[in-house]
A and B are shown apart, each in its own frame.
Chain A
Amino acid sequence: MNKEGPRASTGREPVDDHELVDAARKGDRDAFRTLFDRYHRRAYALAFGVLRHQDDALDVVQDAFIKAHKYLDKFEGNSSFYTWLYRIVMNLAIDHLRKHRRVKPVELDEQKLDEATGDDALLPQILGGNPGRALMDKQIRARIDQALETLSDNHRAVLIMRELEGMSYEEMAQAMGCSKGTIMSRLFHARKNMQRQLVDLVERAPANDVDEDAAASGSRR
């Protein structure tokens, strides 16, 4: 996610997000464009992780930036602009799930947390500690997509919030309007299920069908 928009490479000195926000508040459209250039792909990754649909994710990114602009006056600057933006993205993505998706009737988080505490619930390393290399394999990436697809919307949303943005349990509970215990349960089951579905990739970890872009990106990590 290192691609920058056209305005970010004009040779100007990098400007602090807060300065850009101040300028955008005063009606500077270019300043807001720079913020868009900086964060649109990251915002998209978050929305796509939750929604699993490119057009839906792009719609959410679009709405999130419009909403962010509308409420710029309410951005107090206590957190970073992106932290504020990703909350907007996450709320819109969750709203989208509620409005447009069928809720799977039974979710694992409805089980009691105690059921998740078996000694063998989580798996140890499955990719030999080299996920970057595994990502070079198109088939492994397709398997990750499939595995994400099998998760319930709520499990996937929690997993993405945690793994992509590092949100705390409390922050996730607020975003999803549920208890911290429910978040823990969802996260635990989501991770466990992902591991279960990816466990047979262990033998595949050395890439044999290398995606050039992935190889380049993987080497950055």
Chain B
Amino acid sequence: MKKLHDIDLMEHADGEADHGDLLRDPAARAKVEGLGELGELLRGHLELSADAVPSARFEQVWDAVDKGIAQPEKRRGVWHSIGAWFERYRGHVITGVVSAGAVAALALVLRGSPGSDGPIANHGTGSPTVTPVAYRPTEIESLDTPGGDSTVFNLDDEDGPATVIWVTPADTVEGI
């Protein structure tokens, strides 16, 4: 049979292990009772020590606690309110942000390649320059004109882009 020691008795007394068979021995039983006695002595002593502190002293402690819990509330202010609102509506906010992002991404895809006439151009040094996006009419490169010839001029000057279409009928004699 395994030899049990006082530490096993202590485990049993504390309810951490079951060594009930030990208690058949009167000496072991007396030791367990001794542990209980010591515990009761300490509990009683500490509770009496707590009772001996004047209530006024605890009132001072409460005053300090009261101040301690009031200050953070004052400091919180607007940011705390925003934080609390976000905490409360976190799900809605995240859903909204994701939805907006998806819509923006879709819009970018549908708009076509961003390299053709993107609004931001970087000229190498300094800050990026934002170029306003101007309206550009549809560019005509050629024109079929039955019964004649046509010439298309695309002009781009300080007044903006312009297209000139020159049509020459087939029966027209040049110079007349």
Residues of A that sit less than 8 Å from B by CB: 1-3, 5, 27, 29, 32-33, 36, 40-42, 44-46, 48-49, 54, 58, 61-62, 65-66, 69-70, 113, 116-119, 121-127, 129, 131-132, 134-135, 141, 144-145, 148, 159-160, 162-164, 168-169, 184, 187-188, 191, 194-195, 198, 211, 213-214, 217-218, 221
Please tell me which one of the listed residues B30, B42, B48 contacts residue A214 in the complex, with CB atoms under 8 A apart: B48
**Complex: A160 Cα to B68 Cα, angstroms:** 28
| B50 and A184 contact, CB distance less than 8 A | no
Most B Cβ at <10 Å: residue of A48, A62, A217? A62
CB distance from B45 to the nearest CB of A (A): 5
- A122-B34 contact in complex given A48-B50, A61-B61, A117-B5, C-beta closer than 8 Å: yes
- A218-B44 contact in complex given A118-B6, A122-B35, C-beta closer than 8 Å: yes
**Complex: A163 Cα to B40 Cα, angstroms:** 8
Please tell me which one of the listed residues A129, A163, A198 contacts residue B43 in the complex, with CB atoms under 8 A apart: A163
Is residue B149 contacting chain A, with contact meaning CB distance below 8 A?
Answer: no
**Complex: A132 Cα to B36 Cα, angstroms:** 12
| B65 and A36 contact, CB distance less than 8 A | yes
| B5 and A135 contact, CB distance less than 8 A | no
CB distance from A73 to the nearest CB of B (A): 9
Is residue B77 contacting chain A, with contact meaning CB distance below 8 A?
Answer: no
Docked complex: B62-98 residues within 8 A CB-CB of A: 62, 64-66, 68-70, 72-73
Please tell me which one of the listed residues A54, A145, A213 contacts residue B51 in the complex, with CB atoms under 8 A apart: A213
- A48-B46 contact in complex given A122-B34, A125-B30, C-beta closer than 8 Å: yes
**Complex: A36 Cα to B60 Cα, angstroms:** 12
A-B contact sample (9 more), CB < 8 A, given A116-B5, A141-B48, A159-B42? A5-B58, A44-B53, A65-B61, A66-B69, A121-B6, A126-B38, A184-B10, A195-B34, A214-B48
- Specify which chain A residues have a CB less than 8 angstroms from the CB of B47 in the assembled complex: 1, 41, 45, 217
Docked complex: B4-62 residues within 8 A CB-CB of A: 5-7, 9-11, 14, 16, 27, 30-31, 33-35, 37-53, 55, 57-58, 61-62
**Complex: A46 Cα to B49 Cα, angstroms:** 10
5 A/B residue pairs, CB under 8 Å, sorted by A? A5-B58, A129-B37, A163-B38, A184-B11, A211-B48
Please tell me which one of the listed residues B30, B45, B55 contacts residue A144 in the complex, with CB atoms under 8 A apart: B45
- Specify which chain A residues have a CB less than 8 angstroms from the CB of B5 in the assembled complex: 116-119, 121
